[in-house]
Amino acid sequence: MRHEGLIWLAACALLACAGPALATCTLAKYGTLSVEMIGERPTTLVKVNGVVTRFTIDTGAWFSFMSRANAEALGLKPVPAPFGFRMGGIGGSAIAEIATIKNLGILDTDLHNVDFVVGGSDAGEGSLGANLLDFADLEIDLAHGKVTLFKPDGCRKSALAYWVKDGDTYNVADLHPSYNLNDRRSFVDVTINGKTIRALLDSGAVATLLDRRAAKRVGIDLHGPGVRPGGRIHGLGEKTYQSWIVPIDKFSVGTETIQHSEMLVMDGNFGDGSNDMILGVDFMLAHHMYIANSQRKLYFTYNGGRVFSLDTTSIGAHESAAANGAGGEPKTATDYALRGQARLARGELANALADLDAAIRLDPSSADDHLIRARILLAQKHPDAAMEDLDKALSLDPKNLAALLLRASLRHRKKDAAGAAADLAVAQKLAPAGSMQSRYIASLYVAIGEPANAVPLLDAWIHVHRDDSSLGSALNERCWARALANQALKDALHDCRDAIKRDGDRAAYLDSLGMVYLRIGNYAESIKAYQQALARSPHAAWSHYGLGLAELHSGQTDAGSAELKMARSLDKQIDARAAKFGLGAPVGSPAKASSAQPSR
């Protein structure tokens, strides 16, 4: 990779650093990336061959990368990577290719012929990795929407927490290099319950995470008191892992100690053994950080509020004073919006709303700010106010894809299938084929009762995601859509079987399989699949309903009637939902009609 343009960047304005410790130290500012928190992902806008696109800032990626779908959407042409080269991460390894961006616009300049690794699971955007971010010192201030790259001069013995006022304290930790000389990522030692392990600073991870091997080393018993199941963890590779939420008595990094917190433990390991733990974006949002690669030191101060995403008791605690001290009050609409997005990511909804109100007062013409405020209002359970903001956003920017998708989802929730379909029709023209947005459109088409429209979108997504960790769920989704539409049932059967082969006998997959067999008329196999689904998810109305229909068609009148009764007790509108797709009890069997749109 070549870095033309960095000489120009080094000529940017010098910062005179305040404080006696920095009297002889200056920091040459390469530039600042404006960071928008989209959910729990820190993102920034760059130009790829002149086209503005969004990338995730991912300090946990040793090299910048993107999925094949991202590469195709950007018009890039990946070529095979050198023989034997594979991508590795959570979930295993994946086949890798290389795509070269001729002109990458970043930090107000162009870098030429920049290589990206292509492959692995799709996170929705490409990622800027440590090879681009950690060639210099890196300041990460996600709470104020900024990542800045510095070149220090004369700062070898200076404390580089330059934002700290005289008399205030800061934390410091030693940085450790990777075992791989080509890996620029940052590692620190952390202590959990008195035991030291190695952690990676990973802004691309949505939550702080321990692997099971490290959890055992620090004495965490996954069968102990206070441990409860978490969700499934997925990353770059094909596999997904079960997780647990565990109590942590004492956690320390450098000079900072946190008492009585909770973290996620993954039922797997991080692959190459370079780290035991990931300090995710939740930890970074809670701190103002300076990664001093020039000194192999990490300087950081606490912003207030929760440090780990699972800690809901300290949301907003000490947040206002700490955040203001670290970065000062915003001055522009953009500053308010960036801080508001960070606060939304941390669950600080009231403060986030206040920031977006201020941003919109300063600049009412920003469609994106109305979209952000709509997300906050939805999180606060104010759907009507959110709809007003979405309508305003789309009046300002009718092609705002994110606003279209959010409004379509909200219209579906409000039982406005026609309005949702109208938004999806526009969104479908804007979303790149095979993108994560196109898959979301497919899921909404199924939800509003138009499964046939979902199938071609899922076809395109599956075609470019053969190594993706969520391929199994996409295959199941296509199986379900085909079964509801009563189309290509042999293909649907293959989809369901492939999904189960990849991910195991999940209840949703077995439910879809039962529906396909019901459509085909193989009632014995349908009954078997539905019974297996209900053994895993006993309160699934669709599974009870499908089982009841299969049993009635098999002549098991009493059993079938009992299952239909159970389904109706769980979902009073299920007869109408089923009738939408031509499903119903045989003549002479109990049935009940109502008017409602279908959803699973």
Can you give 441-466 as a three-state secondary structure string?
Answer: HHHHHHHCCCHHHHHHHHHHHHHCCC
Q: What is the pLDDT of residue 236?
A: 64
Q: Which amino acid is at 273?
A: G
Model confidence over 262-306: pLDDT tens digits? 999 988 777 666 789 999 999 999 999 999 999 999 999 999 888
Is residue 198 domain-resident?
Answer: yes
**The pLDDT of residue 88:** 65
User: Token pair for residue 350?
Assistant: 């009231």
Clarify whether residues 534 and 518 are in a common domain: yes
Based on the domain organization, do 491 and 563 belong to the same domain?
A: yes
Q: Which of 117, 133, 148 represents a domain boundary (last residue)?
A: 148
**Arithmetic mean of pLDDT, 349-355:** 96
Whether residue 320 has pLDDT greater than 50? no
Spatial contact of 171 and 300, defined as CB atoms under 8 Å apart: yes
Question: Is residue 563 a contact partner of residue 544, using CB atoms and an 8 Å limit?
Answer: yes
The reported pLDDT for the residue numbered 13 is: 31
The residue segments making up the domain with residue 515 are: 475-586
Q: Stretch 552-559: mean pLDDT, rounded? A: 95
Mean pLDDT along residues 238-253:
87
Domain membership flag for residue 335: no
Beta bridge mates, 302: 287
* Same domain membership, residue 128 and residue 220: no
Cβ(317)–Cβ(342) under 8 Å?
Answer: no
pLDDT tens digit sequence for 18-64 = 344 445 889 999 999 999 999 999 999 999 999 999 999 999 988 99
Same domain, residue pair 215 and 239: yes
Q: At 561, phi and psi to the nearest 5?
A: -65, -40
Percent of the chain exceeding pLDDT 90 equals: 72
Length of the chain: 600
**Token output for 312:** 């809901």
The pLDDT tens digits for 470-529 are 999 999 999 999 999 999 999 999 999 999 999 999 999 999 999 999 999 999 999 999
Same domain, 138 and 211: no
Do 135 and 164 fall within a single domain? Answer: no
Say if residue 195 is in the same domain as residue 82: no
Q: Are residues 141 and 166 in the same domain?
A: no
Q: What is the structure's pLDDT at 449?
A: 95
CB 98 within 8 A of CB 86: no
Most confident segment among 5-14, 261-270, 389-398: 389-398
Q: Where are the alpha helices (H) located in 124-231, listed in sequence order?
A: 130-133, 212-217
Sequence-ordered list of residues with C-beta below 8 angstroms from that of 430, at least 6 positions apart, any chain: 399, 401, 404
Q: Is 255 exposed, middle or buried (0-12, 13-18, 19+ CB in 10 A)?
A: exposed
Q: How far apart are CA 528 and CA 146, in angstroms?
A: 55
- Give the closest residue to 60 by CA, choosing from 37, 36, 42, 82: 42
The DSSP code for 329 is -
How many CA atoms lie within 13 Å of 319's alpha carbon, on the beta-carbon side?
23
> Do both 210 and 279 map to the same domain?
yes
Q: Which two tokens stand for residue 363?
A: 């600049």
One domain for residues 111 and 217: no
Does residue 121 sit in the same domain as residue 165?
A: no
Q: Is 410 part of any domain?
A: no
| CATH number reported for the structural domain that contains residue 42 in this entry | 2.40.70.10
Contacts of 84 (CB under 8 A, 6+ apart): none
* Number of domains into which the chain is organized: 3
pLDDT digits (tens, 9 = 90+) for 81-124: 887 776 666 656 667 899 999 999 999 899 999 999 998 777 78
The tens digit of pLDDT for each residue in 195-239 reads 999 999 999 998 999 998 999 999 999 999 999 988 887 666 667
Nearest to 29 by CA among 131, 109, 144: 109
pLDDT at 87: 66
pTM for the structure as a whole: 0.86
- CA–CA separation, 46 vs 566, rounded Å? 53
Domain final position from 133, 148, 163: 148
Residue 168 and residue 287 in one domain = yes
Q: Which of 302, 328, 356 is the last residue of a domain?
A: 302
Mean pLDDT computed over 360-367: 98
The answer to the question of residue 320 being in a domain is no
